[in-house]
Structure 1
Amino acid sequence: MANHNFKVVLLGEGCVGKTSLVLRYIENTFNANNSSTVQASFLTKKLNIDGERINLAIWDTAGQEQFHALGPLYYRNSNGAVLVYDITNESSFPKVKSWVKELRKMLGADVNLVIVGNKTDLEKERHVNFEEAENYAKAVGALHFQTSAKLNEGIEDVFLALAKKMLELEEQQQLNKTQSLERQNSQRRNVVVVEDDEITVPQSKSCCGHS
């Protein structure tokens, strides 16, 4: 059974519930009075998917503006990112879009993205249109989930889906690497070195009949 280590970073504006999400997922606890995260904290979770052991290292980052410049220190080498917005806070959604652009620029197209609309327990106060968020996620190749850390809804699905995506990508990358090596070896075997003076050798003495 293989071991897979994946780094996941949680990003989003302050007070959207990133810490509540990750604490609900890791410890199954919820504290409505969670204070704002002022730096990054690091939590781990072990999963088993179809016999594959997965170790998730989840970085919970602060959402304040002054933290933004430190972001790259935390999301460098990430395999996946969970981008959280608050469905009751309209301005938290554009922040997700800016994070998507930044992650793609810094980490390339291979980073697996999940966009999460949190606080569905406050559905009556929704200010972010579900269809708009859904369509945006599809457009950037991200998964989209709605969660409530308070009610423990949808959170397992977020991290399970992300883990599966990261696993699939890693397996695809390994396959591509193997195929690339096989192609290189095959090309090496087919290379025939021709010395300049061989051009003058009569055809009858050519060594073409030998492999």
Structure 2
Amino acid sequence: MGDSYSYSYDEECDYLFKAVMIGDSGVGKSNLLSRFAKDEFRFDSKPTIGVEFAYRNIKIADKIIKAQIWDTAGQERFRAITSSYYRGALGALLVYDITRRATFGNIKKWLKELREYSNSHMIIVLVGNKSDLSKNREVQEEEGKELAETEGLYFMETSALENLNVQDAFLQMFSKILENTVQKNLETKTNDQTKTMNVLQGRKEIINIDHEVTATKQSSCCYQ
């Protein structure tokens, strides 16, 4: 993603951002997470039971972000934790396997759940994983791009095995979260300043009496 990104593990963080990973079982969510958090790929990776999460500090521009990424089981029988899983999440990686069309077909189901339990400003990156297995491809890259465009998502194909675009997918998500957060904080600060100015200006009113006497009084009806 360019030179504006670097990595750090020991520095104090400016922000803590939670993100989640969702998608069918076996699409490679756990290996994407382990590749991002520890630069590891597990050939003997087993299905996630319940919820796992990892932390990693990253530097975006001049800010240190503590990235907290939650990974959950794709199997329906482990979905009882849904609401707590999404609570507080600002971003999501929505993952399918390019060699299994059924996992792509289920993306809209996952997207519906995601939008039901998360806030409307969540940053969502659609990820077509296992691009190293292109000879077994069942979902074309263009299909992923079209779905992302239709649903207002970001899109990227990745390979956890070859470490292709894995860092970029996570960093794109967290950079957009940071951008939104900074903008929101700026708007809040501006609104607070405007309200303060309105209060200060509204506490006094000039009363003209017969165009001769000018008096100043405190207005107490609307301000505490």
Query: Separation in 1 of the partners of 2:29 and 2:177?
Result: 20
Q: How many residues align?
A: 205
**1:92-107 pair list within 5 angstroms:** 92-107=103-118
1:62, 1:126 → 2: CA distance? 24
Q: TM-score under structure 1 normalisation?
A: 0.88
**What is the alpha-carbon distance in structure 1 between the residues aligned to residue 82 and residue 106 of structure 2?**
13
Corresponding residue for residue 135 of structure 1 = 146
Matches within 5 A, 1:34-49: 34-49=45-60
Alignment pair present for 1:205 and 2:203: no
Structure 1 199/171 Cα, relative in aligned 2: closer, same or farther at 3 Å?
closer
Structure 2 counterpart of 1:45, which letter? R
1:124 counterpart residue number: 135
Unaligned runs of 5+ in 2: 1-11, 217-224
* Correspondence list, 1:35-184, <5 A: 35-184=46-195
Structure 2 residue 22 is matched with structure 1 residue 22: no
Does the Cα contact within 8 Å between 2:20 and 2:93 map onto a contact in 1? yes
Unaligned runs of 5+ in 1: none
Kept in 1: contact 2:207–2:215 (CA 8 A): no
Structure 1 stretch displaced more, 169-178 or 93-102: 93-102
**Residues in 1 aligned to 2:179 and 2:210: alpha-carbon distance in whole angstroms:** 56
How much does 1:106 deviate? 2.5
Q: Structure 1 residue 191: deviation in Å?
A: 2.4
Report the TM-score when normalising by structure 2: 0.83
Mapped to 2, the partners of 1:207 and 1:199 lie a distance apart of 6
Cα distance change, pair 204–76 in 1 and its aligned pair in 2 (3 A): same
**Is 1:32 paired with 2:38?**
no
Q: 1:178-211: CA deviations, max 9, x gaps? A: 01101211221332677xxx99954433448xxx
Query: Which stretch shifts more, 27-36 or 146-155?
Result: 27-36
* Moved beyond 4 Å, runs of 4+: 198-201
1:94-118 per-residue CA deviation (whole Å, 9 max, x = no partner) reads 3222222322232222111111000
Q: Is the 8 A contact 2:128 2:158 kept in 1?
A: yes
Alpha-carbon shift at residue 52 of structure 1 (Å): 1.0
Q: Deviation at 1:165?
A: 0.7
Higher share of residues assigned strand = 2
Shift in CA distance, 42/123, structure 1 to aligned 2, threshold 3 Å: same
The answer to whether the Cα contact below 8 Å between 2:13 and 2:57 also exists between their aligned partners in 1 is no
The separation in 1 between residues aligned to 2:44 and 2:115, in whole angstroms, is 33
Q: Measure, in 2, the Cα distance between the counterparts of 1:85 and 1:120.
A: 11
Shift of 1:176: 0.7
